[in-house]
Amino acid sequence: MFELKDFDTKVRRRSWLQTANIPKNRFGWTLSDCTDTPKTALEAISDWFEAMREGQIIQNIGDPSCGLGILFYGEPGRGKTTLALSIIQEMITTFPLEAFGPTNNGVLIRPCYFATFNDVLDLKGKLMEEHTESEETLYLGMLGDCKDPAYNIRVLVIDDVGKEHTSLSGWQRNMLHHVLRTRFNNGLSTIVTSNISRDNWAASYGDATGSFVKEAFLYIPVDGNKDLR
């Protein structure tokens, strides 16, 4: 576990941490702090993590793993969100700049970001009404569609997908598919946490999305873990 003061002399990484929207109760966590995570899950994460560190995933054009994300599945309280937050914080604090893919003259504003699915929907709703330039930049960065690549989020966590699925509208289902597909097409990785298993995504979010997650995500169940809350 680290503290923000550890990065007082590393201005870039300190800024990345401060703009990643990390909840305070999990700030400072890395994978070494996830001691209750099943060994099989940690092994799967480790392989993906090293491929990410070596620059094999983010905008690695032509590589089959380009844009590969992670889908964490499990019931509430199994540590899915903690794992996702630990991954991006370890990336922010330890990865070389080149692991995040091409940059604009070495500048990268926000390499990783955490949001719930409802946060994404709320942000899109604001853009359909009155909104600020910073809100538009954040949303375009989530998609990887900013003209300035420095603002495109390389690894986006979308938390709590499935919490709302029984009341989800068609527009919201389409939004989920649009965000996930656009990021993947742009060679950017997404970490999704969900209480819906991969085999049930088609029933919840449509056949296209159900098929897509099997192509674009490493599936890591953590449902065998005990309730950590």
Predicted confidence (pLDDT) per residue in 53-67, tens digit: 999 999 999 999 999
pLDDT > 90: percent of the chain: 71
Tell me what pLDDT residue 55 has: 92
Tell me what pLDDT residue 164 has: 60
Do 126 and 138 touch, CB atoms closer than 8 A? no
34 token code pair = 């996830």
Confidence bin at 139 (pLDDT 50/70/90)? very high
Write down the domain spans for the chain: 4-193
CA angle 33, 23, 123 (to 5 degrees): 135
Locus of tokens 């540590």: 79
d(C-alpha 28, C-alpha 51), whole Å: 23
Confidence bin at 170 (pLDDT 50/70/90)? confident
Confidence bin at 9 (pLDDT 50/70/90)? confident
Tell me what pLDDT residue 75 has: 87
Alpha-carbon torsion angle 53, 58, 64, 65, nearest 10: 50
Asked whether the predicted pLDDT for residue 30 surpasses 90, the reply is yes
Tell me what pLDDT residue 81 has: 95
d(C-alpha 50, C-alpha 140), whole Å: 27
Tell me what pLDDT residue 27 has: 94
Provide mean pLDDT across the span 98-122: 90
Asked whether the predicted pLDDT for residue 101 surpasses 60, the reply is yes
Confidence bin at 77 (pLDDT 50/70/90)? confident
Asked whether the predicted pLDDT for residue 166 surpasses 80, the reply is no
Asked whether the predicted pLDDT for residue 181 surpasses 70, the reply is yes
Provide mean pLDDT across the span 150-157: 96
161 token code pair = 């997908």
Residue 180: count other Cβ atoms within 10 Å of its Cβ. 25
Of residues 86 and 1, more confidently modeled: 86
Asked whether the predicted pLDDT for residue 190 surpasses 70, the reply is yes
Provide mean pLDDT across the span 101-108: 81
4-193: CATH architecture: 3-Layer(aba) Sandwich (3.40)
Do 197 and 72 touch, CB atoms closer than 8 A? no
Asked whether the predicted pLDDT for residue 110 surpasses 90, the reply is yes
Tell me what pLDDT residue 25 has: 92
